[in-house]
Structure 1
Amino acid sequence: MKLVTREEMRELDRRTIEEIGILGLVLMENAGRGTAQIIKKRFGPEKKKVAIFCGRGNNGGDGLVVARYLKNWGWSVKVYLLSEKEKITGDAKVNLEVWLKMGGELKEILNEEELHLIKEEIEKFDLIVDALLGTGLKDEVKGISKEAIQLINALGKPVIAIDVPSGIDATSGKVLGVAVKATLTATFGLPKIGLLIHPGLEYTGELFVVDISIPQVLVEEMNLKHTLLDPQEIDLWPLRPRPLDTHKLSYGHLLIIAGSVGKTGAAAMAGEAALKMGTGLVTLGVPKSLNPIFEVKLTEVMTYPLSDKEGVFSEEALKEVLEILPGKTALAIGPGIGTERGAKKLTLELLKLSRVPMVIDADGINCLVGELEVLKSKKAPVILTPHPGEMARLLGITSKEVQSQRIELSREFAKKYGVILVLKGSRTVIAEPGGHVFINPTGNPGMASGGTGDILTGMIGGL
């Protein structure tokens, strides 16, 4: 599913109106009708009392359309307009006039005092619709809008946000001071990125996408760079049932360089995960002094003892890896290897010399700190799988800074160094050198456990 930034959605709206000839009033009608239908389906069939908070822009206009449909269906609706009626313009003004001509209830709220006076009145409604601030919001919410959002959140009622919860940056998902905590959000045309990443995700609630008649041809012409991974849209042809007349060598041979004293589990999990993915053969290159542990622990995964010093790879291990690398179809390095000289030499030199696809994780990533230019010397595709802390070390910034710019930093890194970057965490970001970014919506907090990253390394290497 394609995702859009604030600017991309604005451009799609503009082209739909100016080039295709679909009036803005039609788009607003489609948006409001679609939202009203979602409300009716989600909270009906019993008719409810609905309070709709409208701002002075097009988001408020969408809210007025919602009000009209719900009223026509027999629901009790009252609009609270955070503006003087005379200041409403454009398509929103048309829908305001229609609402008033059909006898719709409307109350102007022009200051914070008037807002507080309606608190008891608002508490009697079953549902609240947030049509205050739309996707164009860039600055921190202040004044009466801020007070209205705080009031809405304090009510404890189901809240339906129109397009985006007011106070959420549609592109980054950042909270601009304060934001509506929605029960569900009806967004228009295409999902906005900020609704599907943290912290905006936490304010969005259940997300619905309303078709407002944006032509698909315009969407395709935009060459949108952000995609939400949808299991129903993923091409699983490479994982199709295997032909009968095949053998283990038909499915690749993965070499994993992993492990050190106290970190044998990381290596074992990576190797076993690769086998679970269906890899034909898996060889685990491990420190020689630890090899007896692996011989006991592992059955199907083969091991290859490499030179070490007190349980960590020595510099001599590089020559040995290069001797066994021919015939392998992929290479993974990093889980539990440490950052001593031998491990660092292995990582940096294999990056320059390997001619098979390479996955770098964990300590392999830590070995790249201060050495990122080596990525430009690679001879084959490279995938890096950092968690936020490792990404922060690579870039010389804090984890907090990484988390606040996950998409931007991932895309810039992938483009600059020509790698595929998998930034792990809730809503994992996958960026490729061409600038495309994919967001993975799967996973759960139970995965916040040591070892899941090592398993991911084996899975990616296996694939």
Structure 2
Amino acid sequence: MVTETLEAPYSHYLFDADLSQEIDQRTIEEMGIDGFTLMEIAGSSAAKILLEKSDLKHGLYLCGKGNNAGDALVIARYLLQHNVEATLVFLSGTDDLSPDTQKNLDLLKEFNSENKLTIYENWATFESPDTHDFVVDGMLGTGLTSDVRNDYAKAVTWANKQTQPVFAMDIPTGLHANSGQKMGHLIHANTTFSFGGRKQGLYLNYGPKSAGKIHYCELPFPNKYKNTCNTFLLDEEWLRPQPPSPGEHKYDAGVLYIIAGSEGLTGAAIMSAQSAWAEGLGAVILVCPHGLLNIYEQTLPSIIKKPVGKREDYYFQKEHSNQVIEVLSEKKGAVLFGPGIGRKNTTIEFVEKVLSANNYPTVIDADGLWCLAQLDHWPKPDQSEWVLTPHPGELSRLTNNEEDGPQKERLSTVRKYAQQKDVTLLSKGMPGIVGTPSGKCYLTNYNTRYFARAGSGDVLAGKVGAYLAMNNSPDKSCCLGLLNGKQKLDHYLKEYTQLPEPKDFI
């Protein structure tokens, strides 16, 4: 069984809509902290951040009937106290507002001593002020389950045409809190204030594009109510690799076997081996078909090479299995299996036999995944720890989800598949998702689309294999590999300020 060691701080828990509503309700009913107080804390937290912008003079607030509108009204009240004018537009009028929202509207009117408050009771009568310099989205929140329609759709369309920054309350209007899907119309915020817990939809599908910069605003929710959460946001704030520990012998610092390569696909082995070696392992051992040895001798001087088969063999065959198993028995370590091994039938048989005899922690990548998907039954020993690293197409193939593809509900797919197969699954894409046998999942917090290019997967597989060889758990190894990519990206974005935005794959 896989032993998971990752513990994210509560600030990096990702809530779905049901958990968000449950925590809010339990805090009110069981802790005696009423909804009006929670709304006051949420709105005041956002207002303090906005007040750091000294140039604000007039805000336009788009409001629905629920508590998102109430959060917006709290902001308006605090900013009004700092001479920031407020224009409120209630998309569905001011009848039947939620009780706390109604209370905040009444309170806001009481604070309007200098007549800096304008209220529109509906969208039809709204006239945009020439002087507004920001927009607050307080229309629809995490309870949204149907498409945005009618005046709300008109307001979203209008807001998206504005040049002024848009600030969303908890989640942008039109974004599904669980899946990050676009619900008909979707507001594009520059900043989203996420209250009490980050919403997982902010990091999935359309979420990163529509949410802008995300500010987590803490609310007095008891931590014990959050412990059923099973989705978390990766960040260097709480997860960093330990520096490699030197040993008395080179093999004490970690050994990674890389079983890789075939004719025409030698680059995958080179890139994964170089990537793993850069992390400070004691030894990286490349197991390859004998016919490719000359290429690797010239390109990988620091890597130990173990060729199998004959000099005329340029791809792995079933008859090479025993040789590879014998090589793996020489030193205890971890295994990276699959980069560039090809897709011949005899290679599939090779993969099946080697994996069935291998008890080391193992990363299966690229062509290794393709071969695995061809098998009716997996050759996974009961106590072995496997890490699978599929890109979206490979994930579809593994899960037999060819029609819809894995993107729409990828988080759910990854979670279920990792549990069913008792593996750790690193699903490449935007975001990167790590699924574990226990059902916990970890999401990246950066734009992974920059890595949608040939070779990036081989580099990532090398990193994950290296961390696994350093005795990190499979889930931690995957997460560290993804965070290593973020560090590299941050470096290049600072150095190359003109780097273009990657293609949007949504």
Instruction: After TM superposition, list the pairs within 5 Å mapping 1:9-408 onto structure 2.
Output: 9-41=20-52, 44-103=53-112, 104-109=117-122, 113-115=124-126, 118=127, 121-219=128-226, 222-234=227-239, 236=241, 239-240=242-243, 242=245, 246-307=248-309, 311-326=314-329, 327-371=331-375, 373-374=377-378, 377-398=381-402, 401-408=405-412
Measured in 2, the distance between the counterparts of 1:375 and 1:58 equals 53
Q: Compared with structure 1, are the counterparts of its residues 443 and 109 closer, same or farther at alpha carbon in structure 2 (3 Å cutoff)?
A: closer
CA distance in 1, matches of 2:339, 2:22: 45
Task: Tell me the distance in 1 between the aligned counterparts of 2:316 and 2:379.
Answer: 22
SS of alignment partner, residue 32 of structure 1: helix
Equivalent pairs: percent with the same residue?
33
CA distance in 2, matches of 1:346, 1:299: 27
- The answer on whether the counterparts of 2:415 and 2:441 sit within 8 Å (CA) in structure 1 is yes
- Superposition deviation, residue 399 in structure 1: 8.3
With over 3 angstroms needed to count, the CA separation of the structure-2 counterparts of 1:307 and 1:241, relative to structure 1, is closer
Counterpart code for 2:367? D
Q: Judge which range, 95-104 or 453-462, deviates more.
A: 95-104
Letter in 2 for 1:70: L
Distance 2:425 2:411 in 1: 11
Q: Are 2:460 and 1:456 equivalent residues in the alignment?
A: yes
Contact in 2 for aligned 1:375/1:417 (Cα 8 Å) = no
- Once residues 447 and 157 of structure 2 are traced to their aligned partners in structure 1, the CA distance between those partners, rounded to angstroms, is 31
Letter in 2 for 1:431: G
Shift of 1:453: 1.1
Deviation at 1:203, TM superposition (A): 0.4
Q: If each structure's helix is expressed as a fraction of its own residues, which one has the higher value? A: 1
Q: CA offsets per residue over residues 168-194 of structure 1, 9 Å max, x none?
A: 011111110111100111110011111
**Letter of the 1:385 counterpart:** T
Q: Is the 8 A contact 1:255 1:328 kept in 2?
A: no
What is the distance in 2 between the residues matched to 1:316 and 1:394? Answer: 26
Once the two structures are TM-superposed, the CA of residue 280 in structure 1 deviates from its matched residue by 1.2
Change (3 A) 1:235 1:296: closer
Structure 1 segments unaligned to the other structure (5+ residues):
none
Indicate conservation of the 8 Å contact 2:355/2:380, yes or no: no
Distance in 1, Cα, partners of 2:98 & 2:253:
64
Q: Write the letter of the residue equivalent to 2:173.
A: S
CA distance in structure 1 between the aligned counterparts of 2:376 and 2:119, rounded to whole angstroms: 60
Residue pair 1:431, 1:438 contacting (<8 A) in 2 also? yes
Query: Would the aligned equivalents of 1:317 and 1:342 in 2 still touch at CA under 8 Å?
Result: no
Post-superposition Cα deviations, 1:358-413, rounded to whole Å, max 9, x if no partner, equal 11000000011243641654541000001111111112223862111221111111
Matched residue type, 2:421: Y
Q: Identify if the C-alpha distance between structure 1 residues 145 and 375 changes in structure 2 by more than 3 Å, giving closer, same or farther.
A: farther
Aligned-partner Cα distance in 2 for 1:146–1:279? 55
Unaligned runs of 5+ in 2: 1-11, 468-506
Distance change >3 Å, CA 399–CA 146, structure 1 → 2: same
1:151 CA displacement: 0.8
| Structure 2 counterpart SS, 1:37 | helix
Q: Deviations over 1:129-187 (max 9, x none)?
A: 11000111111111111111101111222101111110001111111011110011111
Residue 4 of structure 2 aligns with which residue?
Answer: none
Deviations 1:181-210 (A, max 9, x none): 001111100111111223111000111011
Aligned to 1:93, the other structure's residue is in SS state helix
Count of paired positions:
450
Partner SS, residue 125 of structure 2 = helix
Structure 2 Cα separation of the partners of residues 432 and 366 of structure 1? 21
Number of the residue aligned with 2:490: none
Alignment-mate amino acid for residue 364 of structure 2: I
Contact 2:318 2:353 in 1 (8 A): no
Q: CA RMSD in A?
A: 1.9
Partner AA of 2:229 in structure 1: L
Scaled by the length of structure 1, the TM-score of the pair is: 0.93
Question: Any idea what the Cα deviations from partners look like across 1:84-114, whole Å, max 9, x if unmatched?
Answer: 322213111111222233344211115xx43
- Distance of aligned partners of 1:269 and 1:86 in 2 relative to their CA distance in 1, 3 Å threshold: closer
Answer with 224-233 or 82-91: which moved more.
82-91
Query: Are the aligned partners of 2:193 and 2:217 in contact in 1 as well (CA < 8 Å)?
Result: yes
CA distance in 1, matches of 2:100, 2:249: 66
